Structure 1
Amino acid sequence: MRNSFLFKILILLIFFNMAIYGITAEASQTGFLIVAGDRGAVGNEDIEKVFRRFSSEYPAALSFIGWEEDKYSPYFNSAIKGLRDKGAAKVVVIPLMVSSHDPHFRKMEKLLTAQAKEVFGSGFNPLIAPPLKESYLFDQILFDHIQAISKDPEQERLVIAGFGAETLEDSEKMKEEFYSLLNRVRRFWNFKETTAAVFFHPHAEKKAREDGGKTALQIITNTAAKKGRTLVIPMSIGMKTDSAMSFFGRLKAMLSEFDLTMLHEELIGHENILLWLKKTANQYNLAKPGEIGVVLMPHGSNKLWNDTVDKTIEPLKNKYPIEIAYGMADYSTIQEAVSRLESRGIKKIIFGRMYALQESMKAESDYILGLSREPQIHRHHIADFRQLRNSAVFTTFGGYEKDPDIASALLKRAEEMSRNPEKETILLISHGSGDDELNKKWLSVMGRNAENMKKASTKKFKSIKVAALREDWPDKMKDSLMEIKQIIEEGNRDGRVIIIPNRLAGSGFYREVLDGLHFDMNPNGIAPHPFVMEWLEREIQKAMGGIGVSPLVRQRKDDMESAENKVLHDKHRF
């Protein structure tokens, strides 16, 4: 009987290992097919250099697509077979092209389905990822180039030069995309004028090519003829048979007689191209064990405040790779934290905003993380165009105030100060918001927490009130102080007032702004109450279930736990 039990333990261990290795195998079953337009000898070499760096980390194959797409079938077929032979059960196509209006994109779509089904079978459909211009990293390339050559935007005009149109419709669609990009440029640089010009592919129909070329050249030359400095920045992956026989070289020659400044760097050489390829792959890949990390963003203050938060978070560092980025969505601290995680092999990151409301600092941090292309400039910050240069993908959470368990932490702080509950008014004071609607919402959430405190308490307090100081907005803080003063005066008429800072840590400068009023105050915020760590872990676990584990893996885990429970049950029988 003892041997039977040991045999079951052995089976369980084998099953456990199969499950673990199954997770790894499943996470690596996606193969990536990089498809690029045939640029000519030197241009293709540039593509291949980037591809080699990408394929050193991901199961990948490269295929070029040319104007006569049928002649490129063998390249597609060979690349897709290569992925199949590497064990890929799924294929994600990453089009190394700026726009879906590039005719090479259409030719790729036409060729892709037939070749993929020939290799994998009739029911197989590869996924096509969005092209480069859909990523914020494309914006950042342009922003870098502007930084490199612009001297005085208010005296400058900016022209984006594109390439590759086959039809007038292609050209107009590409220009529309560039105009959207230029709208984002104008949020950070006040140029006198911005516009875009798109040149046609050499293989486009002759009249369309010549007419389109004249129109594009005229846009640039007319802009250059105006007073002020004109900047021309090519934002395309054009032809490049050699350095002279290239879109870049020909454009330079065409514009040599005009008084303008042209960028001398090609798009494909920018570091963001590789980051974009890797980030795209990480979006489609399941995370392997050890590839999920966490960045937490508390507000930050003096050492006492920071140490309190650090100690609260510390136990979680034994469970998860965690980095802290103190601040109000500060680009540099977030970039450093993310880079530290990526240096440890992290490919998916859970970003936690340790702020009271879900909305707090969300728009600002989402822009930095690349989850939004709409910058939200905080009142304490200056405009900063920078977004993360990284390849990990993000999911986020924030807003501990809505968690009903916060009531236990606030109640604990009240009970620490209480002597005669029936005569005590508990006053919860939060930071507050400058936005009236958001401040109203914050007070409503605090009101619910106050009700939960009353229900959970074994002591019957005289009352539990809530207030928001709105401390960063002097005009609004003035009105808030009047309300708080009234609550304190009423509470003192036949009792005592206890202020509980409804803050993550510390008590801010409440005592200073309330000087002259009679009250007691707990100097501690919510941390280091266990609620904070428990809230963080709940949110981390919830996020991990969404970004790193597939339903199949979860089922394996459930099966494994059931098998383990059965063995333990059998052990007790023996």
Structure 2
Amino acid sequence: MSATDPKVKSKVGILIMAHGGGTTWNSMVQEAAKPLMENYPTEFAWGMANFVSIQKAILKLEAEKVDRIIVIPLFISKHSPILRQAEFLLGLRDELADAPMPVMHYTNEFVEMSGVELDESHKMHNMLFPPTLNQVKIHTPGQFTDALDDHPIVAAILRDRILALSEDPDSETVVLAAHGPNGEEDNTEWVKSMESLAAQIQKDQNQKGLMAFRNILSLTVRDDAPKPVHDQAKQHLRALVRQGNTSGNVIVIPVFLSPGGREKSIAERLEGLEFKWSGDTLLPDERLRDFLIESVEEFL
């Protein structure tokens, strides 16, 4: 049964989780989700597993009388405390696996909906830092699909981003750069998924009878990590670009979902170095629609 088959419309609800950003960022995600929105009750939960956003989405879906909810985490990697927190909030984990993520929401609304009391020590820079979290109120079975990770659609989009800048693959070093998590274990697994994407891109070049790239390297820039970790990641990126330039050209590709500014920080930290850069993210690209549809079809 197809994910866009109206026969299943009244039974299944879709909850799409994404980091969220400005109007342009969010609208690109919503545009990719249009085929699902036309056939299922579909809601979005923006933020880093934001309790308020998730609870509101669940209430709206249950008001539509759905009998199960498919949760699509539209994040670059599943190796993240954001997704583990979302699993806890939706009752798929018994306990929080990490410290609660900061919340960008009005204090009164968060306290009222979550039941977690806050004092001034939990507020900083328009952010809330809750000491703990309760699970959301949900009466409908929920199922998580996979994050983007090393899905072939992601590899295909990244390959096109590279080819748009490539002139001589045999002499080019490609650097795939993602935001990345703070934790070392998560970061190791995140990079492994990106290395799988790199291998798929090289394999696709070979299968199409094209020259493979000289090298495709994968790393994370870890913008939100403690300063020593962040600084080390910055120097690692700069070192790879310098080394690539000794034997050819360097192409730097941001592995980000949607344009919104964070990806630009990669180019900024490479100031003074030679590299090719478009800044194009995964969205906008119609193939992300296929990813969302496939994610639902796996559970139908």
- Per the shorter chain, which TM-score range? 0.7 to 0.9
1:516 aligns with 2:272: yes
| Matched residue SS, 1:398 | coil
Structure 1 residues not aligned, in runs of 5+: 1-22, 24-287, 546-574
Q: After superposition, give the CA deviation of every residue in 1:200-223 in whole Å (9 maximum; x if it has no partner).
A: xxxxxxxxxxxxxxxxxxxxxxxx
Q: Which amino acid aligns with 2:295?
A: E
From 60, 63, 75, give the equivalent of 1:355.
75
1:401 aligns with 2:149: yes
Q: Which amino acid aligns with 1:328?
A: M
Residues 385 and 494 (structure 1), Cα distance of their counterparts in 2 relative to 1, 3 Å cut = closer
What is the aligned partner in structure 1 of residue 219 from structure 2? Answer: 467
What is the aligned partner in structure 1 of residue 46 from structure 2? Answer: 326
Shift of 1:514: 2.6
Asked if 2 retains the 8 angstrom alpha-carbon contact of 1:359 and 1:398, the reply is: no
Q: After superposition, give the CA deviation of every residue in 1:30-87 in whole Å (9 maximum; x if it has no partner).
A: xxxxxxxxxxxxxxxxxxxxxxxxxxxxxxxxxxxxxxxxxxxxxxxxxxxxxxxxxx
Equivalent pairs, count: 258
What is the aligned partner in structure 1 of residue 256 from structure 2? Answer: 503
What is the aligned partner in structure 2 of residue 480 from structure 1? Answer: 233
Shift of 1:289: 5.7
Equivalent-residue separation in structure 1 for 2:79 and 2:233 (angstroms): 21
Q: Which amino acid aligns with 1:467?
A: L
Q: Which amino acid aligns with 1:323?
A: E
What is the aligned partner in structure 2 of residue 527 from structure 1? Answer: 283
Q: Which amino acid aligns with 2:219?
A: A
Asked if 1 retains the 8 angstrom alpha-carbon contact of 2:79 and 2:187, the reply is: no
Asked if 2 retains the 8 angstrom alpha-carbon contact of 1:397 and 1:539, the reply is: yes
Name whichever structure is richer in helix by fraction: 1
What is the aligned partner in structure 2 of residue 154 from structure 1? Answer: none
What is the aligned partner in structure 1 of residue 94 from structure 2? Answer: 373
Task: Compare relative contact order (CA 8 Å, sep 6+) and give the higher one, 1 or 2.
Answer: 2
Equivalent-residue separation in structure 1 for 2:284 and 2:143 (angstroms): 25
Normalised by the size of structure 2, how large is the TM-score? 0.79
1:300 aligns with 2:53: no
Residues 378 and 498 (structure 1), Cα distance of their counterparts in 2 relative to 1, 3 Å cut = farther
Asked if 1 retains the 8 angstrom alpha-carbon contact of 2:90 and 2:138, the reply is: no
What is the aligned partner in structure 1 of residue 195 from structure 2? Answer: 447
Equivalent-residue separation in structure 1 for 2:9 and 2:148 (angstroms): 28
Shift of 1:406: 2.1
Structure 2 residues not aligned, in runs of 5+: 1-6, 104-128
Normalised by the size of structure 1, how large is the TM-score? 0.43
What is the aligned partner in structure 2 of residue 183 from structure 1? Answer: none
Asked if 2 retains the 8 angstrom alpha-carbon contact of 1:434 and 1:470, the reply is: yes
Q: Which amino acid aligns with 1:359?
A: H
Asked if 2 retains the 8 angstrom alpha-carbon contact of 1:431 and 1:470, the reply is: yes
Equivalent-residue separation in structure 1 for 2:71 and 2:101 (angstroms): 22
From 130, 134, 151, give the equivalent of 1:386.
134
From 160, 167, 172, give the equivalent of 1:424.
172
Q: After superposition, give the CA deviation of every residue in 1:146-200 in whole Å (9 maximum; x if it has no partner).
A: xxxxxxxxxxxxxxxxxxxxxxxxxxxxxxxxxxxxxxxxxxxxxxxxxxxxxxx
Asked if 1 retains the 8 angstrom alpha-carbon contact of 2:15 and 2:69, the reply is: yes
Equivalent-residue separation in structure 2 for 1:289 and 1:341 (angstroms): 12
Equivalent-residue separation in structure 2 for 1:451 and 1:433 (angstroms): 22
Q: After superposition, give the CA deviation of every residue in 1:469-502 in whole Å (9 maximum; x if it has no partner).
A: 1111122121111221111112222422111111
| Matched residue SS, 1:434 | coil
Equivalent-residue separation in structure 2 for 1:518 and 1:306 (angstroms): 32
What is the aligned partner in structure 1 of residue 295 from structure 2? Answer: 539
Residues 496 and 420 (structure 1), Cα distance of their counterparts in 2 relative to 1, 3 Å cut = same
Equivalent-residue separation in structure 1 for 2:273 and 2:26 (angstroms): 29
Shift of 1:390: 3.1
What is the aligned partner in structure 1 of residue 115 from structure 2? Answer: none
Q: After superposition, give the CA deviation of every residue in 1:123-153 in whole Å (9 maximum; x if it has no partner).
A: xxxxxxxxxxxxxxxxxxxxxxxxxxxxxxx
| Matched residue SS, 1:305 | helix
What is the aligned partner in structure 2 of residue 310 from structure 1? Answer: 30
From 178, 184, 188, give the equivalent of 1:436.
184
Asked if 1 retains the 8 angstrom alpha-carbon contact of 2:175 and 2:216, the reply is: yes
Shift of 1:509: 2.1
What is the aligned partner in structure 2 of residue 16 from structure 1? Answer: none
Shift of 1:385: 2.8
Equivalent-residue separation in structure 1 for 2:202 and 2:86 (angstroms): 35
